[in-house]
A = this chain, B = another copy of it.
Amino acid sequence: MQFELTREYIQNLASLVEAKDTEQILTIFNSLHPADIADILEELSHDEARYIFFRLNPTLASKTLAELEDDKIERFIQVIPTNILASELIEKMDSDDAVDVLQNIPKHIASEILTNFTDKEYQHEIANLLDYNENSAGGLMATELIRVNINWDVRTCLNEIRRLSKEVENIMLAYVVDDKNILQGTLPITQLIINHEKVKIQDIYQKDVIAVHTQTPSEEVALIMEKYDLFVMPVVDGINRLKGRITLDDVLDVVREEADKDYQLISGITQDIESSDNIFRQSKARLPWLFIGLIGGIFGSRIIGSFEGLIQEYSGLALFLPLLAAMGGNVGVQSSAIIVQSIANGTIGLESISQKIFKEFLGGLLNGLVCSSILFLYNVLFGRDFALTISVSAALFSIVLFASVFGTFVPLFLHKIKIDPALATGPFITTINDITGGLIYFTTARIIFGYL
């Protein structure tokens, strides 16, 4: 039932383009969903994609443009005259899609397109929307909605829907406002069907409405719509005037992007990349964390270097160096991940920072005890030198404890000073733990070898 993109399909299209068989190409594309067309264009070469794009009818081309990945839009924008872009493509989009496209192209081109809009009212609307922060409710909302006055009756509302039904997609409810556009409540469309034409809106509308401010951050918008299972939510300004509405599909994108970002941060990737991106783009996103790891490792080597005498005397100490570093890294990443994830999902709970750290300290005691006991048993069974056995187990215990507390503290601290706590996961925590791990290990060993 769904469209499936295969390599054969792409090869077939490429040869149709080469043969310039426009008729055949249009037959194929006119029956496809714009989201599928966008997928196809992204797999074709620049020239092939452009050949097809320019032959689509304007409505389909406009919808396809709105579906393209942010970083793929520019290759079409650049080669189309701005007046055509404005009147034929961008102006036909829903306001939130139009804003999305304009935000993802160079500012001077966006301005030029905007100046070329033929519908001046829509032009002002889009210009206003572009003023909102991209990551706020204002940046997410669309202005297309059904607005009804609280003094109207059902009949007037139905007429309003008839008037706007072509402009507004996915109509589930109407927004009830007073004469000053102050949001009063909502009215599910089904209420208009159930009730008689003469019934007054004020007698049937729902007063309790969950709305957000234009400046509410996107992630908070997502958490609210998710929590209350809303498909659509109104956006208001400081004096509760209705500004727009956010639909759940946009929030789904926010959740996906946020999750992707956190996942990439924990895996040491600094920019949003995909496996299909080219090598240089990938390296650019990967090298910064590798570089930090390298610096951390060099620091670590200097710390270990200051214990070189100890290593020369007891070379067995070197054997457990990677194990201890890895365990510290693993524990630290686990701890920070739990906190980062709970903050992102709004499930952080009401415990204070010190309560959380104390809890993690207890958890670290437990995990440290289990892990160091296993390592102790292993070393005893395999007849390692007793001082080494004691040193390694004691160091592991201390490292697990330190990494637990440190991994919990850093993201909580970052969150408190309003820096994205996800920055504290992955390579950062691993690197710090590598360095402190070495220090803890050899200090412990020096003490123990000194005494025994």
Contact = CB atoms under 8 A, between A and B. Distances in A.
Given A249-B231, A308-B316, A162 B193 contact: yes
For the complex of A and B, the 9 pairs showing the least CB-CB separation, nearest first, are A297-B323, A267-B337, A259-B259, A276-B349, A318-B318, A275-B342, A322-B325, A301-B319, A312-B315
Contact of A43 (B255, B308, B316, B349): B349
A227 B35 contact: yes
26 contacts: A1-B211, A43-B349, A161-B190, A162-B194, A171-B172, A226-B249, A252-B255, A266-B267, A267-B333, A267-B336, A267-B337, A268-B334, A268-B337, A274-B345, A274-B349, A275-B342, A275-B347, A275-B356, A282-B338, A291-B371, A293-B327, A294-B323, A304-B321, A305-B319, A308-B316, A330-B427
A246 to B, nearest CB: 13
Number of copies of this chain in the oligomer? 2
Interface of A: 1-2, 5-7, 10, 33, 35, 43, 158, 161-162, 165, 170-172, 188-190, 192-194, 210-213, 224, 226-231, 247-249, 251-253, 255-256, 259-260, 262-264, 266-269, 273-276, 279-280, 282-283, 286-287, 289-291, 293-294, 296-298, 300-301, 304-305, 308, 311-312, 315-327, 329-331, 333-334, 336-339, 341-342, 345, 347-351, 356, 359, 362-363, 366-367, 370-371, 374-375, 378, 425-427, 430-431, 434, 437-438
User: Max chain B CB contacts within 10 Å: which of A165, A279, A318, A337?
Assistant: A318
A43 B363 CA distance: 21
A374 B248 contact: no
A193 B283 contact: no
A329 B349 CA distance: 33
A241 B210 CA distance: 37
Nearest to A224: B2
A158 B294 contact: no
B325 A315 contact: no
Contact of A341 (B260, B294, B356): B260
A425 B269 CA distance: 14
A382 to B, nearest CB: 9
A341 B264 contact: yes
A366 B278 CA distance: 12
A165 B327 CA distance: 57
A348 B275 contact: yes
User: Max chain B CB contacts within 10 Å: which of A158, A273, A322, A434?
Assistant: A322
Contact of A371 (B10, B212, B268, B294): B294
Contacts of A336: 267
